[in-house]
Structure 1
Amino acid sequence: MPDVHEIHLTDTVRLHVEIDGPTDAEVTAVLLHGWTLDANTWHRQLAYLRDHFGGALRVVTYDARGHGRSSCMALPTATLGQLGDDLAAVLDAVVPTGRVVLAGHSMGGMTIMEYAHRHPTHFADRIAGLVFVSTSAEGNARTVYGLSPRVARLIQIAESTGAGVLARCGTRPPPRSLLRALRPSFRWLLFGDRYNPADLRLVTRAMAHASLRSIGGFRASIGTHDQLATLPGLAHLPTATLVGDRDRLTPPPCTESIAAALPTTALTVCPGAGHMLMMERPGAVNAALAGVLGRVLDSPAAQVIR
């Protein structure tokens, strides 16, 4: 069973953190979840990493502010920049030493980029590898939901307006009856050609624990996210990027932009898959994690950090 921790941030937000593996492990992997979700979305990867690497690896997961079992926050701090600051605080609190590999899904990948931008020295001293899953360095600039650009633009306007309303609805979660009614929409938006109903239920349960303030509040920051210029400075690190070719939220052009900025990255496009690759294609995500972690574990620390 993982060790459960609670980190108290300077603005009184409490983060729910779980740590699996020995404290003296050579490398720590930190897995960051997506918008409106929680750390449970990585459950297949947690099981794989535990079995594959054993005592050589420690794994940290946590629920972002306003998500899952972490507490809600003031609306002005519902930004990707703040999430980058939170990641730095988590590393200081529970991974004070040793090499770190960061893996981020969707908003989690954006969080990694913000952390690298806002804390460049901290990042350079600690981070030894990266895995980006279904994410973007350009906000929603390339998001068209698999529709025509004109229709997509109308959807984005409606979505942004609705998000602004939700952001002012406080800390309560969305009504479960509404989430159940929206399951067909979640299935279309998040999954590709095939899906496991249990995965859709897990996603819906995660959304049921996100506050309305979080669901609405982070939308603006995600939409305007722009860290493409940060990526070339990370090109020396072992990196993998993955996307599904049916991803309606962060479609392949998002990942292609990341790969272009990181020329040595291992790029994987999963046919028929949507946005939830950790569930839809766990084997591909596990292989990407194992590839980056294997390279880090095989390299002396001095060669990996710089």
Structure 2
Amino acid sequence: MHDERRYREQRMRNEHRYRVLTGDGTGLYAVDSGPDGAPVTVVLAHGWTLDERCWAPVAHELTGGSHPGPRPRVIRYDHRGHGRSDDTPDASKTLERLADDLAELIGQVAPSGPLVLAGHSMGGMTVMALAQRHPELVASRVAGVALVATASGGLGGAATLGMSGRPARMFLAGKQALTTSPRWTERRELSRHPALLGPGLRALLLGRRPDGRARRLTYGAIGDCRPTTVSGFTPTLTEHERDAALDAFADLPVEVMVGSADRLTPPRFTRRIRTHLPQSAMTIFPDAGHMIPVERVDGVSSRIAALVQQAAARVTST
């Protein structure tokens, strides 16, 4: 309770909320925190069906915690179709478009200075797509990368939750019937009572003994998610293959993190990333699930803070 009170007080003092308009007219909701004149800006990209709230505990630790080094400016935002950002047609629910959104966000609100990019799950895939589509931005601005519970490819089975054969065909047929029905397409949120989703979401997304904050943030974000966001982004995730894009990070400090009990992007996906980025530091959090930004706040924030410290040191040395 004391920590949550501190977070609320800090949010009231230091956070600025605004909308960023992208080139195709989609408004993105963003939250900006941290000291004026910070030497490094951290941009936090959230995962599929989530929103910026799931990065809030890490953002608060980075701007007001006890980690050594300078305090960064931290920007967290909602992807299009997620949270308080505008919805968008299914044709625009792609990682490519999310990467372009990230580039536009940076260009508008953080046009200069070194960046540390951190992406959780689909947010990590967005960072990889940014490297593929905007290599000049990565080369000129990015000073560190954190890839959190994510994958560089191999998610083809995600469309069927890992099932194959007849069970997979039955699942896909049922999914098609559901996601094209008005009960799905006309709903504003998955559930008005997120706690009812708790048992299933806990089994799928969280590890052993998640605390109350981790449960509330996870259930709340997913309960508020638009159903069409779930179905609309599924194809781009299953098509995601960006091992080659990781080459853009070869000369940068990179932290790759995963929970040992992650069921969506288990440690084999993190090891695949590290195969392509052998200089990266890899952390596997024991007993944590897919939601390590809310399950292992101190561990995730300390590793991002280390990237900030390295980036700030390079600025000072030059």
TM-score normalized with structure 2 length: 0.86
Equivalent of 1:28 in 26, 41, 50: 41
- Whichever residue aligns with residue 98 of structure 1, its letter is G
Count of aligned positions: 302
- Partner of 1:215, secondary structure, is helix
Q: Secondary structure at the match of 1:109?
A: helix
Mapped contact 1:99–1:301 kept (Cα < 8 A): no
How many angstroms apart in 2 are the aligned matches of 1:162 and 1:102? Answer: 38
Name structure 2 gaps, 5 residues minimum. 1-13
Other-structure match for 1:169:
185
TM normalised by structure 1 equals: 0.89
Cα pair 2:52 2:76 within 8 Å, conserved = yes
State how 1:1-306 maps to structure 2 within 5 Å.
1-51=14-64, 52=67, 56-141=71-156, 157=172, 161=176, 164-165=179-180, 169-170=185-186, 172-177=188-193, 179-300=194-315
Which moved further from structure 2: 143-152 or 254-263?
A: 143-152
Residues 262 and 289 of structure 2 are in contact (CA less than 8 Å); yes or no, is this contact kept in structure 1? yes
User: Greater shift after overlay, 38-47 or 158-167?
Assistant: 158-167
The 1-side partners of 2:313 and 2:203 are apart by 41
- Mapped contact 2:144–2:254 kept (Cα < 8 A): yes
Q: Is the 8 A contact 2:144 2:307 kept in 1?
A: yes
Q: What is the letter of the counterpart of residue 121 of structure 2? A: S
In the TM superposition, residue 44 of structure 1 has moved relative to its aligned partner by 1.8
Partners of 2:32 and 2:76 within 8 A in 1: yes
* AA matched with 2:33: D
Gap change, CA 1:56 and 1:285, over 3 Å in 2: closer
Unaligned runs of 5+ in 1: none
Q: 1:156 to 1:82 in 2, by over 3 A?
A: farther
Structure 1 pair 277–7 and aligned structure 2 pair: CA distance change class (3 A): same
Q: Deviations 1:202-229 (Å, cap 9, x if unpaired)?
A: 2222123322221210111111111011
Q: 1-side partners of 2:57 and 2:191: how far apart?
A: 28
The alpha carbon displacement at 1:161 in A equals 3.9
CA deviation after TM superposition for structure 1 residue 199, in Å: 2.0
Q: Deviations for 1:61-94, whole angstroms, at most 9, x for unmatched residues? A: 1111111111111121011110000000000010
Report the Cα distance in structure 2 between the residues aligned to 1:66 and 1:275, rounded to whole angstroms.
21
RMSD value over aligned CA atoms?
2.8
Deviates more, 1:144-153 or 1:131-140: 144-153
Aligned pair in 2 of structure 1 residues 159, 100: CA closer, same or farther (>3 Å)? farther
- CA deviation string 1:166-192 (max 9, x = no partner): 797157222324x44332110000011
* C-alpha contact (below 8 Å) 2:62/2:71 kept by paired residues: no
Percent identical pairs in the alignment equals: 35
C-alpha contact (below 8 Å) 1:170/1:211 kept by paired residues = no
